[in-house]
Structure 1
Amino acid sequence: MDFSTYVAQRRPRLVRTAVLLGCPSADAEDVVQSALLKCYRSWRKVVRADHPDAYVHRVLVTTLYDARNRRWNGELPTEELPETAAADPEWAEGIAVRRALGAMSSDHREVLVLRYFADLSERDTALALGVAPGTVKSRTSRALAALAPLVAAEETS
């Protein structure tokens, strides 16, 4: 698969993955762009990998870590806030999911997003996070247990 085809097929999902990993929506595009640029530079290595999607997700995760470690994130205060969007049930559902994921530790959030949203296998998730497959299994189990009360709290509010 060539790079352009890969980006056309996977970019929206990568952006959504970055958002679910805790990246602000406004910054997710930039983080994905940076990750894809890194992948483009070594595209031959990416396509030769056993699991190219896991490779790209690993680059995305490390790029997100790097972005978080920068001191200034480019936000500037403003006196006027933009108008709020109309209430959309799907939008509200997305907010609830992001709120629940945001309340979790980064280890738990990462494993849930990569396993269930990015639909990576346990092995690919382990490759993307740089951990053993057994670690993915145990983190997933703990993360799902931690997620249940958060979802119940969102449903009652």
Structure 2
Amino acid sequence: MVKVIAVLACLLIVVMDATAGILGIKAEAAQNKVKQLRLWIFECKKPSHEAFILAAGAAIVLAVAHFLANLIGCIGCFKQNSAKSGAPTHLFSKTCCIILWIVVAVGLVLLVIGTLSNKESGSSCGLTHRHYLSYGGFACFAHALFAVAYIAITNAAA
């Protein structure tokens, strides 16, 4: 029964992360539709409300997917510790967990920076914030990969 729940959770996490990734890429496209004046590394642009909404949605979906991945992964870790499984599996599980946290931190930071650059506060000038949203979207896809690996390893070893 636990393995069926783990498989369904993996599918749900993949769908959520793919949705967050697509939202991040669409937010980048919406941001690029806005008029921009660029000079070397400086740019002046108007914020895009559509990009703001899409990027905020991507960040929220990524955070929920990460919470779910950690919840299911930790349940498998507790069972793995109680079963006293082999050291390589336990080490690989912890490595996936650490990489998962790094990927979600990078992805959320990129999405939040992209979201804040599209906040409705009039025209802004400063350093370029190009491609932050699409890189955050790609981090969502990487999050799906490591989340599935983490859940699969911890639940298979248990």
TM-score (structure 2 length as normaliser): 0.28
Choose between structure 1 and 2 for higher RCO, CA contacts under 8 A separated by at least 6 residues: 2
TM-score (structure 1 length as normaliser): 0.28
* Structure showing the higher strand proportion among its residues: 2
